[in-house]
Amino acid sequence: MPITKVRPHLSPNESLLFERSSPGKKAYQLPELDVPAVDAADALGADNVRAEIDGFPEVSEVEAIRHFTRLSTWNYAIDYGMYPLGSCTMKYNPRINELVARTEGLAWAHPYQPEALAQGSMEVMARVEAALAEITGMDAVTLQPAAGAHGELTGILLIRALLEKRGNPRKKILIPDSAHGTNPATAAIAGYAVENIKSSETGVLDVGALEHLVTGDVAALMVTNPNTLGVFEENIIRVAEILHAKGAMLYMDGANMNALVGIARPGDFGVDVMHLNLHKTFSTPHGGGGPGAGPVAVKKVLEPFLPTPRLKRSGKRWTYDYKRKQSIGRVKAYYGNFGVLVRALAYILAHGGPGLRNATVDAVLNAVYIRKGLEPYYDLPYRAPNMHEVVFSDERQAKLGVRTGDIAKRLIDYGFHPYTVSFPLIVHGALMIEPTETEGKREIDQFIDAMISIAKEAETDPQMVKGAPYGTRTSKVDEVTAARKPVLRWKP
Amino acid sequence: MLDACGVSSPEDLFSHLPEAVRLGRPLNLAPGVSEYEIVDYFRDRAAENANGYASFLGAGVYHHYRPVLVDTVVSRGEFLTSYTPYQAEIAQGTLTTIFEFQTMICQLTGMDVANASMYDGSTAVPEAAMMAVRATGKGRVLIAKSVHPEYREVLRTYARNQGMPVEEFGYVPEAGTIDLEDLDRKIDGLTGAVIVQSPNFFGIVDRVKAAAEIAHRAGALLVVLFTEAVSLGILEPAAGADIVAGELQSFAISPCYGGPYAGIIATREKFLRQVPGRLVGQTTDSRGNRAFCLTLATREQHIRREKATSNICTNQALIALMATVFMTVYGKQGLRELAEQNLAKAHYLASKLRPRFCGKFFNEFVVKVEGKTPDEMNKALLKKKIIGGLPLGRFYPELADSMLLCATEMSRRADMDAVAEVLA
């Protein structure tokens, strides 16, 4: 099948800033000082004043904009097309979000300006808290965590604080083998040992096994629901009961919340604490790896332990409550990634309740449609109904010497970003595909066609597939040498 | 599509969910609204905040001019709407800018390696402390009281469950610099990290070199923080620092009521394997061209799981890009000139008031308020459309009569004169 989505295109070369600098060039203009200049050595002490910053850029404004524009064209992006990274929820990032986040009175608000002059920001945060509480079915929300993993840490510290108050923080956290790597890393930072639990043959939590594992030593189970196979944990209510009966808590990683919004609420199925990734479910841009925001939602019993400060209504005004004796303390300076919260609220307002639910339905429909389209060509190791994502394995192609990583690289030639490669770990050679609600039938059909075409190429010309990508300006990158002989900065 | 999926209605896609978990009602959220109404909603909220005020607040978040190029670049969909650059072949744009970022942070801090950025300055503190503890095998952490109070709170939250006792040491009441004798008294053979900030929370250029000597004598690492990155344009990089951690908000990142910002961690070559977060390295592609990729991932959570150096997953790529564009626009000359303007403005304001501490300062300083409380003074300033300094009583009871004032290149002389008139 010919590649129809893309064809070659001029791609400019560009050197590093440091290589294109020439002495004396500049891209800035400062106003004339309206106060007397100060001698730096006098004001700071001669020893404290630095010499010229060796190697720092010296370019003109045009050179600067061309530099970054040229580099930008070397990236793939959602704005170019489908970005089916499983568990990453790469949905369209509405530009209205960007516009409103730059509203002057919001973008230039200083975190320490008087509360009376920050009521607009505080109202925005209160509205986000309320919306997220309704969406998750939880009782209270903190907006302080800066990212998903940061939210996880906050959530586990909350559990620890509650258990400590009850007399015993306990020793370990149970984590399914299908979990994101941040889960065990977080548990370790919160001072817990990690016990990995095996998924059942159908890819969900094994309730029978869990009953034996939950002892008085277990502080919590961290579960992603739907899990990283895209499968809803059908026994989740029973799982919560087992934990609660032993005084343990149920933590939910909200990475896959895009499958549930408006359909089911974690607070209604026994979850005690969870985080959300606003950069996934709520459309704030990933920006090449951040910023995100990882609000944490809890049941009432955990509310006293939430980070300080808390928003509080006092008459007709919002104020901050800093006097919270049981709080775990701060997890971040100030109040959270406010700019990300603004974007998420714009998304919530634009969709409204019905629109949010529709987005979920479309996301699941797209994933199921892809499953049906690719099932004849790729091995599907877990056959339970999937929700917003679907996980295949490379078993059939691997017999021909073509692995998931090769298929992913070949997909680039067809004009798509690869799916998530080799995750979750419980699937050998995983291809984890999440289309999100963003994609229409046309783009998805092209994707399915590309995947089918690659499956055929794997049979007819496996070596060719293994050499991909061919159409990119940068061919296969030598990651092994990068790690063996690290060069982490430019040097003259 | 429904036919292909073998269902007759979209609802059937959820038929496998147990009845008990389903939300049997619509979400209690208003229906969606138009773009125009959203703009309006946020304009109304913005109108409830301070508008048209001159501000002399600093304390970790600074009002600096944001060159137009910054938003031009970060608004490009290729940067805005891409993911973490795992697929190097189609992410060279992001990877190259991060490599440039790492290089510039090394140039600024005088360190050998810098990571691709952290969430912010405050969370970089516990990450730096954990790094030092791993590197030395010693768990005790000493942090100066003159470090940003909220950063210290974040450190305590992280440290509590890691067998990482945190203690504070004081500052000299006359100079506002760290109390070296107190540090010397408190440091012991179990101390793995000594953490200081310069310019410190009071704006004072602190005694980093002397702190390094004390720390190193005891076998501890010295972590040096900064919150005002513009100061790096004029101040000598921290002498004797083993780890530099800081906040880049000053580099064209909007104050935005506290975030998102970007933090950094930079260190010496020998601690490379202890660095948390993402690192971008240079390599070649199969045609022999220079290329970049994420590297040394064996430190990270997605490989090492519970044995990782940190649970951090992403960096703050887009925000770090803002800082990268800012550093490019100002460049070698501009950052120096910008720092000199900050210095001049703050010293002009200070010349009309009496700074409480005698230590050298960059663009922030503490003044003791006479006759009235800092809050009362600020109320008087608000009437002139000026947001005054940060009253320090909330963080330092012994400085309840004082406020922290900041002036930047954006502070106008007339406003500074007005502040001086009210406060003097």
Contact criterion met (CB < 8 Å) for A52 and B150: no
* Helices vs strands, H then E, count in chain A: 16, 12
Contact criterion met (CB < 8 Å) for B329 and A340: no
By the CB < 8 Å criterion, does A482 face chain B? yes
Contact criterion met (CB < 8 Å) for B29 and A131: yes
| CATH code reported for the domain at A353-479 | 3.90.1150.10
- What residues are paired with B49 via a beta bridge? A118
Rounded Cα distance between A294 and A148, Å, is 4
Contact criterion met (CB < 8 Å) for A334 and B301: no
CA angle B43, B49, B52 (to 5 degrees): 90
Contact criterion met (CB < 8 Å) for B360 and A45: yes
Which residue in chain B is spatially nearest to A91 when comparing CA positions? B81
Q: How far is A212 from chain B (nearest CA, A)?
A: 23
In A, which residues are within 8 Å of B74 by CB distance? 287
pLDDT at B306 (0 to 100):
78
By the CB < 8 Å criterion, does A130 face chain B? no
Contact criterion met (CB < 8 Å) for A147 and B313: yes
pLDDT at B79 (0 to 100):
98
Rounded Cα distance between B103 and B96, Å, is 11
Which residue in chain A is spatially nearest to B17 when comparing CA positions? A234
Strand runs (DSSP E) across B329-418, as ranges? 364-368, 386-387, 390-391, 402-406
Domain ranges in chain A with CATH number 3.90.1150.10 = 353-479
Q: How far is B193 from chain A (nearest CA, A)?
A: 18
Contact criterion met (CB < 8 Å) for B298 and A331: no
Contact criterion met (CB < 8 Å) for B282 and A479: no
pTM of the model: 0.97
A220: which residues sit within 8 A by CB, 6+ positions away? Answer: A156, A159, A173, A174, A243, A248, A249, A250, A251, A272
Of B60, B259, B281, the CB nearest to A482: B281
Cβ atoms of B292 and B95 closer than 8 Å: yes
Instruction: From A255, A251, A204, A208, select the one nearest A231 (Cα to Cα).
Output: A204
Most B-contacting residue of A5, A67, A332, A444 (CB-CB within 10 A), to test interface: A332
Domain A96-349 fold? Aspartate Aminotransferase; domain 2 (3.40.640)
At residue B239, what are phi and psi to the nearest 5 degrees? -75, 130
Rounded Cα distance between A53 and A17, Å, is 14
Of chain A residues 401-430, which have a CB less than 8 A from chain B?
408-409, 412, 417-418, 423
Which residue in chain A is spatially nearest to B267 when comparing CA positions? A488
pLDDT at B63 (0 to 100):
97
pLDDT at B304 (0 to 100):
77
CA angle B237, B239, B241 (to 5 degrees): 95
Instruction: From A14, A478, A55, A132, select the one nearest B327 (Cα to Cα).
Output: A55
In A, which residues are within 8 Å of B320 by CB distance? 290
Exposure of B44 in the CB half-sphere (CA atoms within 13 A) = 8
Most B-contacting residue of A224, A477, A490, A491 (CB-CB within 10 A), to test interface: A477
Which residue in chain B is spatially nearest to A317 when comparing CA positions? B48
In A, which residues are within 8 Å of B123 by CB distance? 146, 150, 331-332
Most B-contacting residue of A9, A35, A82, A411 (CB-CB within 10 A), to test interface: A35
Q: How far is B390 from chain A (nearest CA, A)?
A: 7
Q: How far is B73 from chain A (nearest CA, A)?
A: 7
Of B1, B107, B160, the CB nearest to A54: B107
Rounded Cα distance between A187 and A196, Å, is 12
Domain ranges in chain A with CATH number 3.40.640.10 = 96-349
Per-residue pLDDT of chain A (492 residues; tens, 9 = 90+): 688 899 988 999 999 999 999 999 999 999 999 999 999 999 999 999 999 999 999 999 999 999 999 999 999 999 999 999 999 999 999 999 999 999 999 999 999 999 999 999 999 999 999 999 999 999 999 999 999 999 999 999 999 999 999 999 999 999 999 898 899 999 998 999 999 999 898 999 999 999 999 999 999 999 999 999 999 999 999 999 999 999 999 999 999 999 999 999 999 999 999 999 999 999 999 999 999 999 999 999 999 999 999 999 999 999 999 999 999 999 999 999 999 999 999 999 999 999 999 999 999 999 999 999 999 999 999 999 999 999 999 999 999 999 999 999 999 999 999 999 999 999 999 999 999 999 999 999 999 999 999 999 999 999 999 999 999 999 999 999 999 999 999 998
Instruction: From A85, A35, A108, A147, select the one nearest A416 (Cα to Cα).
Output: A85
CATH class of B54-66+331-423: alpha beta
In B, which residues are within 8 Å of A102 by CB distance? 71, 254
Q: How far is B188 from chain A (nearest CA, A)?
A: 24
Of B293, B304, B330, the CB nearest to A477: B293
Q: Alpha helices, DSSP H only, in A195-309?
A: 207-213, 236-245
pLDDT at B163 (0 to 100):
83
Residue B49 has what DSSP assignment? B
Burial class (CB in 10 A: 0-12, 13-18, 19+), A7: exposed
Quick one: residue B374, left, alpha or beta (phi over 0 = left, psi -120 to 50 = alpha)?
alpha
Which residue in chain B is spatially nearest to A186 when comparing CA positions? B311
**Domain map (residue ranges) of chain B:** 54-66+331-423, 69-325
Cβ atoms of A34 and A442 closer than 8 Å: no
By the CB < 8 Å criterion, does A326 face chain B? no
- What residues are paired with A196 via a beta bridge? A175
Contact criterion met (CB < 8 Å) for B341 and A33: yes
Which residue in chain A is spatially nearest to B20 when comparing CA positions? A269
Over the range B99-108, which residues count as b (16 or more CB within 10 Å of their CB) and which as e? bbbbbbbbbb
Rounded Cα distance between B20 and B396, Å, is 52
Contact criterion met (CB < 8 Å) for A357 and B311: no
By the CB < 8 Å criterion, does A62 face chain B? no
Cβ atoms of A228 and A87 closer than 8 Å: yes
Of A35, A58, A291, the CB nearest to B319: A291
What spatial distance separates the first Cα and last Cα of chain A, rounded to whole Å?
Answer: 47
Domain B69-325 fold? Aspartate Aminotransferase; domain 2 (3.40.640)
Contact criterion met (CB < 8 Å) for B295 and A346: no
Of chain A residues 204-223, which have a CB less than 8 A from chain B?
none
Q: How far is B200 from chain A (nearest CA, A)?
A: 13
Of A149, A356, A412, the CB nearest to B312: A149
In A, which residues are within 8 Å of B297 by CB distance? 483
Residue ranges of chain B whose pLDDT lies below 70: none
In B, which residues are within 8 Å of A271 by CB distance? none
CA distances (Å), A451 to each of A373, A406, A417, A433, in order? 9, 12, 12, 11
Q: How far is B321 from chain A (nearest CA, A)?
A: 9
Q: Alpha helices, DSSP H only, in B114-238?
A: 121-136, 149-159, 180-186, 208-217
Residue tagged 């109040």 (tokens): A335
A315: which residues sit within 8 A by CB, 6+ positions away? Answer: none
Dihedral angle computed from the Cα positions of residues A455, A457, A461 and A466, in that order, rounded to the nearest 10 degrees: -70
